[in-house]
Amino acid sequence: MRNRAFILLTALTLFSGFSKASELELEIPKLVFAEVSTAVEIKAVNGELPAYVFQMHNGAISTDTAFVTQTDAGATVDLIIHGDKPIEFQKHTIVVQNPVSAIPLWMSILPPLFAIFLALVFKEVIFSLVSGVFVGAAIMGFYAEGFIGIFTGFFRIIDTYILNALNDSSHLSVIVFSVIIGGIVAVISKNGGMQGIVNRVSRFANSARNGQLATWGLGIVIFFDDYANTLVVGNTMRAVTDRLKISREKLAYIVDSTAAPVSAIAFVTTWIGAELGYISDGLNVINANGVEINEGVYSIFLSSLSYSFYPFLTLFFIFYIIYRGKDFGPMLKAERLARQGGVVNPEVNTGDLTEMEDLKPVEGIKYRARNAVIPVAVIVLGTLVGLLFTGFETLGGNLAKIDGALKLDSWGDIWSNMSLMDGNPTGFTKRLGTLIGASDSYVSLLWSSLSALLIAILLTVSHRIMNLKDSVETVVSGFKTMIPAILILILAWALASVTDEMHTAQFLTGVIGDSIPPWVIPALTFVLAGFVAFSTGSSWSTMALVYPLILPAAWAICNSDAYQYANADSMAIFYNTVSAVLAGSVLGDHCSPISDTTILSSLASGSNHIDHVRTQIPYALTVGLVAVLIGTLLSGLGLHPMIALLLGLGSLIGIVELFGKRAEDPA
Length of the chain: 667
Does 92 reside within a domain?
yes
> At residue 348, what is the residue type?
V
Residue 316 pLDDT exceeds 90: yes
Those residues with Cβ within 8 angstroms of residue 614's Cβ, 6 or more apart along the chain or in another chain: 120, 330
Nearest one of 413, 373, 375, 382 to 396, comparing CA atoms: 413
In angstroms, what CA-CA distances link 62 with 40, 553, 608?
Answer: 12, 21, 50
Please tell me which residue, 67 or 572, carries the higher pLDDT value.
Answer: 572
Which span out of 108-117, 222-231, 578-587 was modeled with the highest average pLDDT? Answer: 578-587
- The three-state (H, E, C) secondary structure of 369-382, written as one string: CHHHHHHHHHHHHH
pLDDT in tens, 12-31: 223 333 334 445 566 666 77
Alpha-carbon span 498 to 112, nearest angstrom: 9
pLDDT of 457 reads: 94
497 in any annotated domain: no
Q: Identify which has the larger pLDDT, 259 or 88.
A: 259
> From residue 594, how far is each of 72, 160, 352, 447, 492 by CA, in Å?
50, 19, 20, 28, 6
| 644 is a domain residue | no
In sequence order, which ranges of 191-247 are alpha helices (DSSP H)?
193-201, 208-221, 226-243
* pLDDT for residue 68: 37
Give the residue, 3 or 228, on which the prediction is more confident: 228
CB distance 311 to 627 below 8 Å: no
Beta bridge partners of 75: 42, 70
The per-residue pLDDT for 442 is: 77
Asked whether residue 636 carries a pLDDT value surpassing 60, the answer given is: yes
Query: What is the model's pLDDT at position 643?
Result: 94
Q: Is the pLDDT of residue 646 over 60?
A: yes
**514 touches 570 (CB < 8 A):** no
Q: What is the mean pLDDT of residues 347-372?
A: 63
Asked, for residue 532, whether it belongs to a domain, the answer is no
- The 3-state DSSP class for residue 37 equals strand
Q: pLDDT tens, 150-178? A: 898 899 999 888 998 888 887 788 788 87
- pLDDT, position 617: 93
Overall average pLDDT of the 632-645 stretch: 91
Residue 46 lies in domain: 2-103
Q: How many structural domains does the chain have?
A: 1
State the pLDDT at residue 562: 55
- State the average pLDDT over residues 72-76: 52
* Domain-located, residue 70: yes
Task: Render pLDDT for 172-216 as a digit per residue (tens, 0 to 9).
Answer: 887 888 788 888 878 888 888 877 876 776 677 778 888 899 888
What distances in angstroms separate CA 648 from CA 304, 313, 625, 643, 657, one per listed residue?
17, 7, 10, 9, 14
- The whole-chain average pLDDT of the chain stands at 76
Q: What is the mean pLDDT of residues 278-284?
A: 68
Asked if the structure places residue 427 within a domain, the reply is: no
> Quick one: pLDDT at residue 623?
95
Higher pLDDT, 314 or 390: 314
Maximum Cα–Cα distance across the chain:
99
If we measure between CA atoms, which residue out of 140, 181, 180 comes closest to residue 160? 140
The answer, yes or no, to whether residue 628 has pLDDT greater than 80, is yes
Query: Using CA atoms, how far apart are residues 598 and 620, in angstroms rounded to an integer?
Result: 12
Q: CA-CA distance, 168 to 400, in Å (whole number)?
A: 29
55-69, 262-276, 498-512: the lowest-pLDDT one = 55-69
Lowest mean pLDDT of 303-312, 396-405, 655-664, name the range.
Answer: 396-405
Q: Is residue 620 very low, low, confident or very high in pLDDT (cuts 50, 70, 90)?
A: very high
Neighbouring CB atoms inside 10 A of 239's CB total 17
Coil/strand/helix, residue 205: coil
Domain contains 572: no
Write out pLDDT tens, residues 581-599: 889 989 998 888 878 788 8
Look at residue 545 in the predicted model and tell me its pLDDT: 65
Q: Which of 109-113, 224-228, 610-614 has the lowest mean pLDDT?
A: 224-228
The answer to whether residue 95 is domain-embedded is yes
Q: Give the list of residues 6+ apart from residue 368 with CB closer than 8 angstroms, or none.
A: 191, 192, 193, 196, 463
Whole-structure pTM value:
0.66
420-476 pLDDT tens trace: 776 667 777 777 777 876 777 778 888 988 999 999 999 999 988 899 999 999 899
**Most confident residue range from 103-117, 138-152, 342-356:** 138-152
Mean pLDDT, range 289-305, rounded to an integer:
70
Whether the CB-CB separation of 382 and 450 falls below 8 Å is answered with no
33-42, 259-268, 400-409, 633-642: range with lowest mean pLDDT:
33-42
Residue 577 has pLDDT above 60, yes or no: yes
Of the two residues 81 and 310, the one the predictor is more confident about is 310
pLDDT for 621 equals: 95
Q: How confident is the model at residue 546 (pLDDT cuts 50, 70, 90)?
A: confident
For the ranges 146-150, 340-344, 436-440, which has the lowest average pLDDT?
340-344
Q: Is the pLDDT of residue 310 over 90?
A: yes
Phi, psi at 325, each rounded to 5°: 65, 30
Give the contacts of 462 (CB within 8 A, at least 6 positions apart): none
Q: Identify the weakest region by mean pLDDT among 95-109, 168-182, 381-395.
A: 95-109
* 667 — pLDDT class (breaks 50, 70, 90): low
